């Protein structure tokens, strides 16, 4: 018996934005339906319509039934009675869902009292029980805290507690782990599992991340341009996908095990205001037929377990490799051994503390040492707030650091004159995370690309030629030159950011999460471009990312950062296969695998707690409060070393390129 | 779909290399930003209306004296306080002066003073505020100290004291008024610059080696355009009124010369009995303000980056990032 049934749902936002174009789905009690799609595919519009929360002016047609009762067309008053009791929601942004002026305990108790009519005391007791259930430590005390006193991960837990307070029959979670670190994401997914078991609710789990869905969902629905293009049991989707878009999406995912190179889907999704007449995927589909452009394919059964796909050319997708074939990696010229190549960037014991108006200083970077040699990519990874971006900004300032030394192409930044600094800037460039905020909204692409050139005194006519050339280098067309950033898609905007960084023909590129804001299918394209450029232009990269799966495919060496310090650094393949530091191991454990079978079998040691506040680190090892290896130590003498002495990076084995900051590192042979 | 189909298939698809024979294709054919802006101003109804209106007002102010049968300092002893007539188009004052001649003469002063003071003070505010906010440190402290000092100075007294030195050279009023009108705006500009200077596109420009004056001119000030335009439009009316207050006490434009503010102040006491003494000057002042505001609104539309050609909703970044902090 399905609890939540959606039939032929259409949502249109003014002016004529067709966000959802005919979606049907069913979710049974205790079942999790994962809804996956790229940004703009209409996932949020679907969630809002199901909850009766569509913005005013939106036109919602079709049917949404909750245990047989029709929800579409109900008044706001009726819907708010249902919401919170029979159907509940978890959103991406918990701060907007929690009232800042009440304690979280009161807010949860309030929903219980409103909907279940419990007494004040009973409601409070239940609120504390719920907070305990979702894993808030010391729940009776924390119930009296205000939302802003919780970290991002803890706030999500509070939201989930609130959502399940009245034993809803259906739960809608829109990007419940969006914007969280993998370690915290793993915790929240565990809480969602607990919540489902505690309530037996039907769960609609909406996300852009196929890795998230693999371990949690029973069935998966893939959305594209407002339509469901494929629906199947979770194993089917990952192992026998039939619709070309699903196949492309899976192929474009970077994997932390590094087995297959991600393959991008070329092109971009269609605009929601003018959806194409036929199959919306046709312009990007490698196996499109002639009639795909005219007729919309309807979902049809293609396999066991209610596996349905909307595609005319199912025959062509029997062999997955044929649809999106693997592309070979860019061939890099034979490089001499690492120790023979020149050092392009050297950072020694770099320190950056920010003074605060109140409280102690923020230890953003607290003694970091590494080097980058010509032609290689060093990946810098770690949870958000650990100081990765600060390291980049300190290098880019090309000034004397608070402590330590930065040497760029053999020149000490502390000793640079203004003219030297400007000259060095030609060799050292940066690409930022958010492609839109790094492009001036008031300048056209051509002017953005021309700016560094004219700043370094290139004459006007040559600038025009170089701009045209740069557009070509990053795979953009000339028509993009006169657009404003607003008129670009995310992938295009990031290509402009890369082109600008390449304008002065740098030798070293610092990349700050260059693909984190992009959808997987577009992300793979940008990664491929970066790989290509490095090989062709002989660049070196310092590549910052929080996503270890992405780094696996680009980095030759990786450095793992925690609380302003490096925990481990070494050759990428070795670090991924045999992490020596417990933190590296925990990070790798938390990366979701886009493979339901292996995801279920995985033996995890989930990392507890949140990323630390960047204030003064604890005595001894700074990772100790969260360290599973320390917790497992039985010998007092060994424990005392962790408690009293701050481990420095040290070489484990002289024959291996690996340094670890842990007293009890695992052998890294 | 807006031309998405033709997007590049990554570098392999195109086989681009540096200078691989693309150079013979000639430079990009782009309209210059200035031509583009001019075209868009002319395409904006409000900007065009405002500009045309302003043009007509200037025409009236400067061509009016040429066609008027009376000069502003002539007195008609046969007509005291007469309503409009074919002889005196806007009527006469109690001392027999022609109101039309006075009004167009006053308009010359007021238009020049209003526009020049507004542009000057907003420009000063923009430069001082942006430099202070962008550079920070001791430059910031010094400039803001100056701002605070000027804010507490009683401007009216200062102008009154300096007034004899002007010796009737009214154009000197322009820098004098401007000098006391820019401080509050400068503080606002500084505040907004503080948040702009950590924007990634500003950081990117800095790391590309773009010089500080150029960053302020190309990245900071254009992104404050809305604020500056609103400020300048308001400044026009404020300056005209400030000038009339000064003139009322005899410190500004001196008789027999006159300004719109002076005429309004003189006529307002008897506005009901002799409406022509007040109405024409008042109406023209309103028209000036309307024209300026229309032009300002139009310019704001034109400069708004949200307006240009390719509106497409942009994806929200998943993890918003802030760079910098204190440097
Ligand atoms: N309030 C709104 N008004 C107009 N268009 C909207 C509104 N909200 C979303 N859209 C558009 O609807 C489409 C689907 O959006 P959304 O459901 O947020 O996608 P997703 O959740 O997959 O990112 C997009 O083109 C988006 O720009
Ligand atoms: S219907 Fe045609 S265009 Fe659409 S996915 Fe199938 S083969 Fe490709
Ligand atoms: S030194 Fe101790 S606390 Fe630190 S990471 Fe190693 S085992 Fe854990
Ligand atoms: Mg969304």
Angle at A159 between CA A157 and CA A160, to 5 degrees: 65
The reply to whether B214 falls in a domain is yes
The pLDDT, as a whole number, for residue B45 is: 85
CA of B313, nearest ligand number: 1
Q: Is the pLDDT of residue B290 over 50?
A: yes
Q: Is the pLDDT of residue B200 over 70?
A: yes
The pLDDT, as a whole number, for residue B38 is: 82
DSSP summary character for residue A19:
E
The reply to whether B208 falls in a domain is yes
B158: CATH: 1.10.3720.10
Please report residues of B whose CB lies closer than 8 A to that of A475.
7-11, 13-14, 16
Q: Is A427 on the interface with B (CB under 8 A)?
A: no
pLDDT digits (tens, 9 = 90+) for B38-83: 888 888 888 899 999 999 999 988 888 888 877 777 777 787 777 7
Q: Is the pLDDT of residue A151 over 80?
A: no
Cβ-defined contact of B28 to A446 (cutoff 8 Å) = yes
Q: Measure the CA–CA gap between A216 and A594, rounded to whole angstroms.
A: 11
Tokens representing A492?
Answer: 């295009």
Tokens representing A587?
Answer: 């990070």
Q: Which of A625, A664, A665, A667 to mutate to test the pocket of ligand 3 (most atoms within 8 A of CB)?
A: A664
Peptide linkage before A446 cis (omega within 30 of 0): no
Q: Is B6 on the interface with A (CB under 8 A)?
A: yes
The pLDDT, as a whole number, for residue B320 is: 40
Q: Helices B183-196 and B137-152, interaxial angle, to 10°?
A: 160
Peptide linkage before A15 cis (omega within 30 of 0): yes
The reply to whether B201 falls in a domain is yes
Give the length of chain B. 327
Provide the pLDDT confidence category of residue B86 given band limits of 50, 70 and 90: confident
The reply to whether B26 falls in a domain is no
Residue of B nearest to A329 (CA): B12
Ligand 3 lined by A649 (C-beta under 6 Å): no
Residue of B nearest to A92 (CA): B318
The reply to whether B133 falls in a domain is yes
**DSSP symbols for A89-133:** EE-S-HHHHS-TTS-HHHHHHHHHHHHH---HHHHHHHHHHHHHH
Q: Measure the CA–CA gap between A483 and A443, rounded to whole angstroms.
A: 9
The reply to whether B77 falls in a domain is no
Average pLDDT rounded to a whole number, residues B282-305: 85
Q: Which domain does B173 fall in, by range?
A: 101-291
Q: Is the pLDDT of residue A188 over 50?
A: yes
Query: If contacts are CB pairs under 8 Å, which of residues 389-408 in chain A contact chain B?
Result: 389, 393, 396-397
Report the 10 Å Cβ neighbour count for B77: 7
The reply to whether B1 falls in a domain is no
Average pLDDT rounded to a whole number, residues B273-285: 83
The reply to whether B165 falls in a domain is yes
Q: Is B273 on the interface with A (CB under 8 A)?
A: no
Task: Give the least confident one: A87-91, B21-25, B115-119, B145-149.
Answer: B21-25
**DSSP symbols for A201-251:** -EEEEEES-HHHHHHH-SEEEEEETTEEEEEEEHHHHHHS--SHHHHHHHH
Smallest CA–CA separation between B127 and chain A, in Å? 19
Going by DSSP bridges, is the β-strand pair A343-354/A403-408 parallel, antiparallel, or unpaired? Answer: antiparallel
Work out the percent of chain A whose per-residue pLDDT is above 70. 98
Q: Is the pLDDT of residue A319 over 90?
A: no
Query: If contacts are CB pairs under 8 Å, which of residues 194-253 in chain B contact chain A?
Result: 199-201, 203-205, 207-211, 214, 218-219, 222-223
The pLDDT, as a whole number, for residue B305 is: 62
Smallest CA–CA separation between B209 and chain A, in Å? 6
B169-to-B118, B174, B252 alpha-carbon distances in Å: 19, 10, 9
Long-range Cβ contact pairs of B36-39 (< 8 A, separation 24 or more):
B37/B302, B37/B303
What stretch(es) of chain A map to CATH 3.40.50.300?
340-550
Q: Is A441 on the interface with B (CB under 8 A)?
A: yes
What's the mean pLDDT when you consider all of chain A?
Answer: 87
Q: Is B3 on the interface with A (CB under 8 A)?
A: yes
Report the 10 Å Cβ neighbour count for B171: 12
Average pLDDT rounded to a whole number, residues A448-464: 90
pLDDT digits (tens, 9 = 90+) for A625-663: 889 899 888 889 999 999 999 999 998 888 888 999 999
Provide the pLDDT confidence category of residue A431 given band limits of 50, 70 and 90: very high
Task: Give the least confident one: B120-134, B171-185, B273-287.
Answer: B273-287
| CATH architecture for residues A340-550 | 3-Layer(aba) Sandwich (3.40)
Q: Which of A164-168, A465-469, B320-324 has the highest mean pLDDT?
A: A465-469
């Amino acid at each position: 018996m399905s609890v939540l049934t959606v039939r032929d749902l259409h949502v249109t936002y003014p002016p004529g934005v067709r966000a959802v174009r005919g979606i049907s789905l069913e979710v049974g009690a205790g079942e999790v339906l994962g809804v996956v799609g790229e940004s703009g595919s209409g996932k949020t519009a679907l969630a809002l319509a199901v909850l009766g929360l569509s913005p005013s002016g939106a036109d919602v047609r079709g049917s949404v039934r909750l245990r047989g009762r029709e929800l579409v067309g109900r008044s706001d008053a009726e819907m708010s009675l249902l919401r919170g009791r029979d159907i509940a929601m978890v959103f991406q942004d918990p701060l907007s869902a929690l009232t800042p002026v009440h304690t979280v305990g009161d807010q949860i108790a309030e929903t219980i009292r409103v909907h279940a009519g419990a007494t004040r005391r009973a409601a409070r007791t239940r609120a504390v029980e719920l907070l305990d259930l979702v894993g808030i430590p010391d729940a009776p005390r924390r119930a009296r805290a205000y939302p802003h006193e919780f970290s991002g991960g803890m706030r999500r837990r509070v939201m989930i507690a609130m959502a399940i307070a009245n034993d809803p029959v259906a739960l809608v979670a829109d990007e419940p782990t969006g914007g969280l670190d993998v370690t915290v994401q793993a915790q929240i997914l565990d809480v969602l599992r607990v919540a489902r078991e505690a309530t037996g609710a039907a769960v609609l789990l909406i996300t852009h991340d196929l890795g998230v869905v693999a371990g949690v969902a029973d069935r998966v629905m893939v959305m594209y341009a407002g339509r469901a293009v494929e629906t199947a049991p979770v194993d089917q989707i990952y192992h026998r996908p039939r619709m070309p878009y699903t196949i492309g999406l899976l192929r474009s995912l970077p994997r932390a095990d590094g087995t297959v190179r991600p393959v991008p889907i070329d092109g971009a999704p269609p605009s929601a205001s003018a959806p194409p007449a036929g199959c919306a995927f046709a312009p990007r589909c490698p196996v499109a037929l002639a009639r795909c452009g005219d007729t919309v394919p309807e979902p049809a059964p293609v396999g066991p377990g209610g596996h349905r796909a909307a595609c005319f050319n199912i025959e062509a997708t029997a062999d997955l490799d044929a649809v999106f074939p693997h592309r070979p990696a860019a061939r890099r010229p034979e490089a001499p051994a690492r120790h023979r190549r020149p050092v392009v960037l050297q950072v020694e014991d770099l320190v950056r503390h920010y003074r605060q108006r109140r409280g102690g200083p923020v230890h953003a970077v607290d003694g970091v040492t590494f080097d980058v040699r010509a032609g290689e990519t060093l990946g810098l990874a770690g949870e958000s707030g650990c100081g990765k971006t600060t390291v980049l900004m300190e290098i880019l300032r090309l000034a004397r650091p608070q402590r330590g030394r930065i040497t760029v192409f053999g020149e000490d930044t502390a000793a640079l004159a203004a003219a030297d600094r400007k000259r060095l800037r030609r060799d050292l460039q940066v690409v930022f995370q958010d492609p839109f905020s790094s492009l001036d909204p008031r300048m056209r692409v051509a002017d953005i690309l021309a700016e560094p050139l004219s700043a370094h005194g290139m004459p006007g006519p040559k600038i025009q030629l170089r701009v045209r050339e740069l557009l070509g280098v990053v795979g953009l067309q000339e028509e993009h030159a006169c657009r404003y950033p607003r008129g670009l898609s995310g992938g295009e905007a990031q290509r402009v950011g890369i082109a600008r960084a390449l304008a002065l023909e740098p030798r070293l590129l610092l990349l700050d999460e260059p693909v984190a804001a992009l959808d997987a299918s577009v992300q793979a394209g940008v990664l491929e471009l970066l790989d290509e450029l490095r090989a062709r232009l002989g660049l070196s990269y310092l590549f910052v990312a929080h996503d270890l799966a992405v780094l696996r495919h680009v980095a030759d060496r990786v450095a793992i950062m925690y609380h302003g310090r490096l925990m481990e650094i070494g050759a990428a393949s070795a670090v991924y296969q045999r992490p020596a530091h417990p933190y590296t191991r925990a990070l790798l454990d938390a990366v979701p695998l886009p493979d339901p079978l292996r995801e279920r079998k995985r033996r995890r040691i989930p990392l507890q707690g949140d990323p630390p506040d960047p204030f003064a680190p604890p005595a001894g090892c700074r990772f100790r409060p969260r360290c599973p290896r320390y917790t497992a130590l039985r010998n007092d003498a060994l424990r005392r070393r962790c408690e009293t002495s701050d481990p420095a990076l040290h070489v484990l084995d002289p024959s291996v390129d690996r340094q670890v900051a842990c007293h009890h590192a695992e052998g890294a042979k | 779909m807006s031309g998405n189909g033709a997007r590049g298939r990554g570098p392999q698809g195109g086989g681009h290399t540096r200078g691989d024979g693309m150079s013979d294709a000639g430079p990009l054919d782009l309209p210059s930003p200035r031509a583009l802006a001019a075209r868009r101003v002319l395409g904006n109804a409000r900007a065009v209306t405002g500009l045309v209106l302003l043009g007509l007002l200037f025409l009236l102010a400067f061509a009016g004296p040429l066609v008027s049968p009376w000069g502003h300092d002539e007195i008609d002893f046969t007509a005291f306080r007469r309503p409009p007539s074919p002889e005196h188009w806007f009527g006469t004052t109690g001392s027999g002066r022609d109101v039309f001649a006075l009004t167009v003469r006053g308009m010359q002063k007021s238009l020049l003073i209003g526009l020049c003071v507004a542009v000057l003070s907003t420009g000063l505010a923009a430069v001082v505020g942006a430099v202070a906010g962008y550079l920070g440190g001791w430059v910031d402290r010094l400039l803001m100290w100056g701002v605070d000092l000027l804010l507490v100075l009683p401007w009216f007294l200062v102008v009154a004291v300096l007034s004899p030195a002007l010796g009737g050279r009214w154009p000197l009023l322009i820098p004098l008024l401007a000098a006391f009108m820019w401080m509050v705006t400068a503080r606002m500009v500084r505040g907004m610059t503080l948040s702009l200077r950590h924007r990634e596109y500003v950081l990117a420009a800095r790391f590309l080696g773009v010089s500080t004056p150029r960053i302020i001119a190309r990245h900071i000030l254009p992104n404050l355009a809305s604020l500056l335009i609103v400020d300048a439009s308001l400044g026009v009316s404020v300056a005209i009124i400030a000038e009339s207050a000064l003139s009322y006490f005899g410190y500004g434009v001196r008789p027999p010369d006159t300004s719109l503010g002076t005429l309004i102040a003189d006529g307002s006491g008897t506005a009901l009995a002799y409406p022509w003494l007040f109405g024409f000057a008042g109406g023209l002042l309103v028209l000036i303000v309307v024209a300026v505001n229309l032009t300002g609104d139009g310019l704001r539309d034109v400069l708004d980056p949200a307006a240009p050609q390719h509106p497409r909703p942009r994806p929200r970044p998943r993890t918003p990032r802030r760079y910098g902090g204190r440097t």
